[in-house]
């Protein structure tokens, strides 16, 4: 059996910076509340006319990852595209990447696991490579949140948190040694599906309802989040799934060189850091600049940490995510 490793990373965020003060001009919120509760200072939003969509941003991130992996699109054997904000209801973003990059008619799989989407996608890539079926898998997480958020005061508990952007990783057959993805660990608990959800448009609130009723109470068309409930579950599941991954590899918290948590809320990351007694240089956060970009947050953070030289060969890198579903997961990587 083979192992897999990340051979190229890339990210892309739109140029348009939206500060907390910008948001306070359109809704009843303020910089102090947002920073105190979430750590977020600013995020990026697609600007009308800038050409960006979820798939377009994914392609931009993928091009960088491919170049760094010293590969061309025709080398890729499979695309896995994770998002909760696709350009179209169907088909998914994977086929758009296949077309935009002029790839062979390789499989394009779309992953729907929200904040855990990248870890789920990475895990799928790892399995296909381990079995020997594929040599190079392109994994993308990309989100266009700004296109679907409620920017009135009613939506402030959700809308100040999320941002747009994309990250990508090329996952390749490991030819050289025992480094690479050591293991991945995935979970779900559907009984909490409503606690962080977007219920329409969907087959429950299907086309006639959108067109004919255009309901004034258009809440189903915006994301709903029971923030406190999600927060409480997040801190427990993050801790559990990191420990599960370490134990599976007979490693302990002291072996971690870099923890990259899904950027849900700086307070969640800090809670985990304190619980595991990890020093500042072993936990990477950039939610301050980008907000929560769900499926894109880990690949954006991983790319930035790598670009800053914070991840070196031989390091033990731990990725962990939790989000809507609820779903959660971790990946334990020897860089
Ligand atoms: O990535 C997927 C997973 N998602 C998460 O992990 C998110 C987890 N949850 C959270 O990050 C936090 O729960 C939030 C940041 C979303 C909210 O923080 P909180 O400390 O749980 O605040 P809250 O929802 O309990 O609201 C506290 C108060 C409320 O006012 P009252 O009822 O106390 O008068 C809210 O109406 O803050 C108010 N509020 C705001 N005020 C200013 C809510 N949103 C805002 C806002 N600006 N943007």
Residue 1's contacts (CB-CB under 8 Å, 6 or more residues apart) are 130, 131, 132
Residue of 131, 162, 141 whose CA lies nearest to 34: 162
* Residue of 23, 24, 157, 229 with the most ligand 1 atoms within 8 Å of its CB, for mutation: 157
Q: Tens digits of per-residue pLDDT, 25-34?
A: 999 999 999 9
Which atom of ligand 1 approaches the CA of 265 most closely?
Answer: 11
Annotation says 115 is catalytic: yes
Find the 225 Cα to ligand 1 centroid distance in Å.
9
Instruction: Please report the pLDDT score of residue 17 as a whole number.
Output: 98
Report which of 46, 42, 43, 70 is spatially closest to residue 58, judged by C-alpha positions. 46
pLDDT tens sequence across 297-306: 999 999 999 9
Confidence of residue 320 (pLDDT cuts 50, 70, 90): very high
What are the residues whose beta carbons fall under 8 Å from the beta carbon of 143, sequence distance 6 or more?
54, 83, 84, 85, 162, 163, 164, 165, 166, 293, 294, 295, 296
Q: What is the pLDDT of residues 267-280, one digit of tens each?
A: 999 999 999 999 99
pLDDT of residue 280: 97
- DSSP lists the bridge partners of residue 169 as 9, 139
3-state helix, strand, coil in the chain (%, to 5): 40, 25, 35
Distance 327 CA to ligand 1 centre (A): 21
Index of the ligand 1 atom closest to the CA of residue 159: 48
Atom of ligand 1 nearest to the CA of 230: 8
CA 314 to chain centre: 24
Q: How far apart are CA 70 and CA 122, in angstroms?
A: 20
Using the predicted structure, report yes or no on whether residue 212 has a pLDDT greater than 80: no
User: Residues 45, 115, 145, 174: which is the catalytic one?
Assistant: 115
* Minimum CA distance residue for ligand 1 atom 10: 227
Which atom of ligand 1 lies closest to the CA of 29? Answer: 47
Mean residue pLDDT of the chain comes to 95
Alpha helices (runs of H) in 88-167, residue ranges in sequence order: 93-100, 117-130, 156-159
Report the pLDDT value the prediction gives residue 175, as an integer from 0 to 100.
82
| Structure confidence at residue 1 (pLDDT) | 84
Which pLDDT value is given to residue 174?
A: 93
Q: How far is CA 81 from CA 52, 152, 298, 317, in A?
A: 16, 30, 14, 22
Considering only CA atoms, which residue is closest to atom 41 of ligand 1? 29
pLDDT band at residue 211 using 50, 70 and 90 as cut-offs: low
- Residue 29 Cβ inside 6 Å of ligand 1? The answer reads yes
Q: Is 11 in the pocket of ligand 1 (CB under 6 A)?
A: no
Residues 6+ apart with CB under 8 A from 170: 6, 7, 8, 9, 65, 66, 68, 69, 71, 76, 136, 137, 138, 139
Instruction: Tell me how far the alpha carbon of residue 195 lies from the centroid of ligand 1, in angstroms.
Output: 14
- The reply to whether 144 belongs to the active site is no
Supply the pTM of this predicted model: 0.96
Instruction: Classify strands 196-197 and 224-225 as parallel, antiparallel or unpaired.
Output: antiparallel
Count of Cβ atoms closer than 10 Å to residue 203 Cβ: 8
Marked catalytic residue, from 145, 262, 265, 286: 262
* Cβ of 115 less than 6 Å from ligand 1: yes
Å from CA of 187 to ligand 1 middle: 25
- Nearest protein CA to atom 5 of ligand 1, as residue: 264
Our answer on whether the CB atom of 192 is closer than 6 Å to any ligand 1 atom is: no
Q: Which domains, and CATH codes, for the chain? A: 4-173 (3.40.47.10), 180-334 (3.40.47.10)
- At 326 the pLDDT is 98
Q: Is 107 in the pocket of ligand 1 (CB under 6 A)?
A: no
């Amino acid at each position: 059996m083979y192992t897999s490793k990340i051979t190229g990373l890339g990210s892309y965020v739109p140029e348009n910076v939206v500060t907390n003060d910008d948001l306070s001009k359109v809704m009843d919120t303020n910089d102090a509340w947002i920073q105190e509760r979430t750590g977020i200072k600013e995020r990026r939003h697609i600007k009308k006319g800038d050409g960006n969509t979820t798939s377009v941003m994914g392609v931009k991130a993928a091009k960088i990852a491919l170049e760094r992996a010293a590969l061309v699109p025709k080398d890729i054997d499979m695309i896995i595209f994770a998002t909760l904000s696709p350009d179209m209801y169907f088909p998914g973003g994977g086929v758009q990447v296949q077309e935009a990059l002029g790839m062979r008619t390789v499989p394009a799989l779309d992953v729907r696991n929200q904040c855990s989407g990248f870890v789920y996608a990475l895990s799928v890539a790892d399995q296909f490579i381990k079995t020997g079926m594929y040599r190079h898998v392109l994994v993308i997480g990309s989100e266009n949140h700004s296109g679907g958020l409620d920017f009135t005061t009613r939506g402030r508990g959700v809308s100040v948190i999320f941002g747009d952007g994309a990250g990508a990783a090329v996952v390749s057959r490991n030819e050289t040694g025992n480094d690479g993805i050591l293991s991945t660990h995935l979970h779900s608990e559907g009984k909490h599906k409503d606690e962080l959800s977007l219920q329409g448009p969907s087959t429950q609130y299907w086309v006639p309802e959108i067109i004919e009723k255009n309901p004034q109470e258009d809440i189903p068309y915006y994301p709903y989040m029971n923030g406190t409930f999600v927060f409480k579950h997040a801190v427990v599941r993050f801790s559990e799934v990191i420990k599960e991954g370490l134990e599976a590899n007979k490693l302990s918290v002291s072996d971690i060189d870099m923890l990259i948590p899904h950027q849900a809320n700086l307070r969640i990351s800090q809670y985990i850091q304190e619980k595991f007694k990890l020093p500042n240089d072993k936990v990477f956060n950039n939610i301050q600049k980008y907000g929560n970009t769900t499926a894109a947050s880990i690949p954006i953070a991983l790319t930035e940490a790598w670009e800053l030289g914070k991840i070196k060969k031989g390091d033990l890198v731990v990725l962990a995510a939790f989000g809507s579903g609820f779903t959660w997961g971790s990946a334990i990587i020897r860089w």
